[in-house]
Structure formats: structure tokens, C-alpha cells
Amino acid sequence: MPRWRALSSFDSSVVATQRWRLDLAYDGHAFHGFAYQPQFSTVVGVLRATLASTLHMDHEPVIVGAGRTDAGVHAFAQVVHVDLPTRLFAKDRGPDSERLMRSLNKQLRGRIRVLAARVVDDTFHARFSATWREYRYLTLEVSPPGLRLTNAWSWSVEGPLDVMAMNGACEAIVGTHDFRAFCRRPTNSSPDEPLIRRVLDARWQRLEDHWSLSPTNAPAVRFTIRAESFCHNMVRCLTSTVVSIGQGRLDQNTLKVRLESLNREHLPPPAPAEGLSLIGVGYEEFAGGPSGFVR
């Protein structure tokens, strides 16, 4: 098997490159978020270092993601793009996606899993070419009340939850709205600046307990939301508010009222990060189609 070619003094402005799309999965507990932060272990930071090491590059490449996940948030279908010099790959063989995946996954050792790797047109952009993102949030109904369950992939809440009321409430967020009441405002932005987002679908589903782990036979409730894009903490803020509606602590019209008022005063804090996962990113066929198992 030929070795990767070493590349010194990498300068993307003068070196011919190929754009690669990488589909990733990772456990958010292992990272201080997605975006590169030199002082912390992040998804992009680890991936940059691993690419440079695996391909014998003197400089770490720039990586662009479809979206940022907060610390503790998981991903089963994150998408990034990275421009890699063409001379790293043997001319007679061309890009070898399978070999690149194997090499990266061997070095990453399970911290991040590269699910797919492919060369794409250089007009592809992991963030700006995406037409939607889809997240899921998993909650566990706790019975009897007061019992707390520890789970790295879900949020334990006091049940039972009124899923019909929760779905009725979510009808208000589908469409284009100003989500200032449910987002953490970007640094240095004005409080008067709108946070307009378009939600394509939002629904809650009770999951059957095939293993009979709960006396209610339905310990889990899953929130799935698809939008063109999301603002910071949007899914977690919506989740905590709708869970309170399902518990009967807030009125079913709360989402509608707060979207109109733009005020989140006295609403519950964001739901914990561990229950949230990025499960799909939408792309046109020229870019390889959607990531994950959602279509």
C-alpha cells in the first residue's frame, strides 16, 4: 500500500487542492464543543490535528462544518469540508476515500468516527450548501416522581408527559419566526436584532419500551425538529419549554405567545446538552445528498 506523500510549507493559495466532504459521528461528552479552540479539546481541533498527522502535513488544514454543536451535544451525521492538496494522493490511483477513512479512524480511535469521505465539487460548502439540519432530543419519563436516572444520552424528567399537548404547542413554531425568546444571543449583537429561522417540521413521539424496562411501558419521548438553520441553544430552549407544557406547568399556547412577545423571562433554562444529537444535514445530489439516515 503506498504511503501518503509528505507535504511541507503548505499554502492553500498556491497549492492545487481537492475539496473533501467528510461525514462524522462523535460523542459530545469527549469535547468542549465543535468549533476550534486552541486551549480546549474540540471536534474540529482533534480532526485538524489528525488530518495533519495522518497525511504528514506541516500545517493543520482549515475545516468548515455544517453547524456548531455545543459542549456535550452528540452527532451521528455532522458534515464538514476540507481542502486537501492533490499531490498528497498518487496520480495513478486518484483519491482513495476508503483508505483515507481507514487511516483517519485508526488515528482517531473512536473519539470521532468518519462515516463517509468523498471528493466533491469545489463549489460545495458544508455550511452554506446545506438546505436543512435535523436534531433529535431524547427524554426519559421518570416514574415514580422524584426518581432520577443518569443517562449520558437523554434527560430524565418527571412524567407522565402529555405528548398530544406537546405536539399541539409545536405547531406554533413551524414556519418562519423570530426566535429571540428561545435563543442565546450572539456576542456583540444588538437585543433589537431579529433571529429569524425557518422550522420545517417539529414533533414529539412516544417510544415503545420493547424491553419492558419501565412500569409505564413508555419511558422515552423523542423530539425531532428540522429547520433550515438554528440559532444558539434554540433546540434546548424549545425542548425545556415544551416539556414543561407536557407536564402541565405551562400553558399550551406558551410557544405562540413568546414568539410574538420575543420575551423569554421566567421560562425554564435550556434542557441539558446530553439529550441532544445532530442526526442529519440536507444537501442536493450534487453534494452527495443528505447525511445520516433521514431523507
CA distance 259 to 236: 16
Looking at the structure, tell me whether residues 197 and 121 fall in a common domain. no
- Prior bond of 144 cis (ω within 30°): yes
- pLDDT tens per residue, range 238-295: 999 999 999 999 999 999 999 999 999 999 999 999 999 999 999 999 899 999 976 5
Looking at the structure, tell me whether residues 94 and 209 fall in a common domain. no
The burial of 30, by beta-carbon neighbours within 10 Å (0-12 exposed, 13-18 middle, 19 or more buried), is given as: middle
Assigned domain for 80 exists = yes
User: What pLDDT score was predicted for residue 147?
Assistant: 59
User: What pLDDT score was predicted for residue 216?
Assistant: 54
Assigned domain for 11 exists = no
The burial of 122, by beta-carbon neighbours within 10 Å (0-12 exposed, 13-18 middle, 19 or more buried), is given as: exposed
> How far is CA 29 from its chain centroid?
13
Q: 88 pLDDT exceeds 80?
A: no
Q: 5 pLDDT exceeds 70?
A: no
Looking at the structure, tell me whether residues 98 and 119 fall in a common domain. yes
Answer with the one of 108, 129, 150 that is the final residue of a domain.
129
Looking at the structure, tell me whether residues 56 and 159 fall in a common domain. no
Among 127, 50, 46, 113, which residue's Cα sits nearest to residue 81?
127
- pLDDT tens per residue, range 13-33: 457 889 999 999 999 998 999
User: What pLDDT score was predicted for residue 187?
Assistant: 75
Looking at the structure, tell me whether residues 161 and 268 fall in a common domain. yes
Residue ranges making up the domain that contains 26: 17-129
- pLDDT tens per residue, range 118-151: 999 999 999 999 999 999 999 988 766 555 666 7
Q: 12 pLDDT exceeds 70?
A: no
Active site residue 192: no
Angle ∠(20,21,26) on CA atoms, nearest 5:
125
Domain of residue 214, CATH code: 3.30.70.660
DSSP string, 159-203: S---HHHHHHHHGGGSEEEE-GGGSPPPTT--TTS--EEEEEEEE
User: What pLDDT score was predicted for residue 212?
Assistant: 64
Looking at the structure, tell me whether residues 146 and 252 fall in a common domain. yes
Looking at the structure, tell me whether residues 121 and 217 fall in a common domain. no
Looking at the structure, tell me whether residues 180 and 169 fall in a common domain. yes
Looking at the structure, tell me whether residues 88 and 188 fall in a common domain. no
CA distance 101 to 248: 48
Mean pLDDT, range 182-210, rounded to an integer = 88
Assigned domain for 82 exists = yes
How many folded domains does the chain comprise?
Answer: 2
Residues 6+ apart with CB under 8 A from 158: 141, 142, 145, 146, 247
More confident residue, 12 or 213: 213
Domain of residue 88, CATH code: 3.30.70.580
pLDDT confidence tier of residue 8, bands split at 50, 70 and 90: very low
Helix H, strand E, coil C: the string for 99-142 is: HHHHHHHHHHCCCEEEEEEEEECCCCCCCCCCCEEEEEEEEEEE
Assigned domain for 275 exists = yes
pTM over 0.75: yes
Answer with the one of 78, 107, 129 that is the final residue of a domain.
129
Residue among 11, 27, 58, 70 flagged as catalytic: 70
Looking at the structure, tell me whether residues 217 and 87 fall in a common domain. no
Provide the mean pLDDT of the chain: 88
**Which range among 203-207, 208-212, 229-233, 242-246 shows the weakest confidence by mean pLDDT?**
208-212
User: What pLDDT score was predicted for residue 83?
Assistant: 95
> How far is CA 190 from its chain centroid?
26
Answer with the one of 110, 129, 148 that is the final residue of a domain.
129
Q: Are 154 and 137 in contact (CB under 8 A)?
A: no
Assigned domain for 187 exists = yes
User: What pLDDT score was predicted for residue 7?
Assistant: 44
Assigned domain for 287 exists = no
Assigned domain for 53 exists = yes
Looking at the structure, tell me whether residues 123 and 149 fall in a common domain. no
- pLDDT tens per residue, range 106-122: 999 999 999 999 999 99
**Which range among 4-8, 13-17, 101-105 shows the weakest confidence by mean pLDDT?**
4-8
Looking at the structure, tell me whether residues 151 and 83 fall in a common domain. no
Assigned domain for 252 exists = yes
User: What pLDDT score was predicted for residue 153?
Assistant: 86
